[in-house]
Copies of this chain bind each other. A is one copy, B any other.
């Protein structure tokens, strides 16, 4: 008779239920953590083939070194060492449009393009190329950047991209989104006049969309992956801090100029 319907979990004095299963009896020791995360969002248990691709995506997105997000988490720990949750939250809050957003934006762009076509998804490369030509041309005309295309560091190719594609193919979950994304990779140089790499974050978005996740959930997985990376940074910061040195550098190198 409740007002708030949920299918995630509940508990009473003697039992804890998660996703319709007895947590201690049926899940703990039987389900991996990545598997549980998939299940919680997809509302279905992944096959082992799907899980392999999904975990590879999470591993691919977990860390990229001393990013703005990792530095922000470390500086937050400098000021509030007692609040791990604050440092983690600060790091995740940088996971917006410019960095982690790519995963979602790319998945959305591909899903929208596929949905805009009447009938079923294309079945041969020529049809995917045709659709890709339309997308890239429209983006060029509107002077929009295509999400997933280009990388500030991996200009010659993001090394994560072929691995995701290979794993998806091996696992039988290579689908319309990855296929369209590869087509964009093929056709864009002729239209844009330069060759940009398909970046890893975008490829991960395409793979997650091929796994059947709604596009509005994709950024969440990028954040979950990044949570593991940030815990690594936070643990390292606890052992051997760099936050105070970054602060000192910025403070020492600041150039104060009163507005006139």
Contacts and interface: CB of A to CB of B under 8 A. Distances in A.
Contact of A34 (B32, B153, B156): B32
Interface in A1-29: 1-20, 23-25, 27-29
A64 interface: yes
Contacts of A176: none
A6 B84 CA distance: 19
Interface stretch (A116-124, A129-137, A142-150, A157-165): A157-165
A59 interface: yes
Contacts of A44: 259
A223 B227 contact: yes
Interface stretch (A107-115, A188-196, A228-236): A228-236
A95 interface: yes
B88 A223 contact: yes
Given A29-B56, A34-B32, A20 B258 contact: yes
A246 B246 contact: yes
A245 interface: yes
A219 interface: yes
A68 to B, nearest CB: 4
Contacts of A187: none
30 contacts: A3-B255, A5-B254, A11-B65, A11-B154, A15-B159, A20-B259, A24-B163, A28-B160, A28-B164, A32-B34, A33-B34, A33-B55, A33-B225, A33-B228, A43-B259, A44-B259, A75-B94, A76-B96, A79-B94, A79-B98, A80-B94, A82-B96, A85-B93, A85-B100, A86-B86, A86-B89, A86-B96, A214-B238, A224-B231, A246-B250
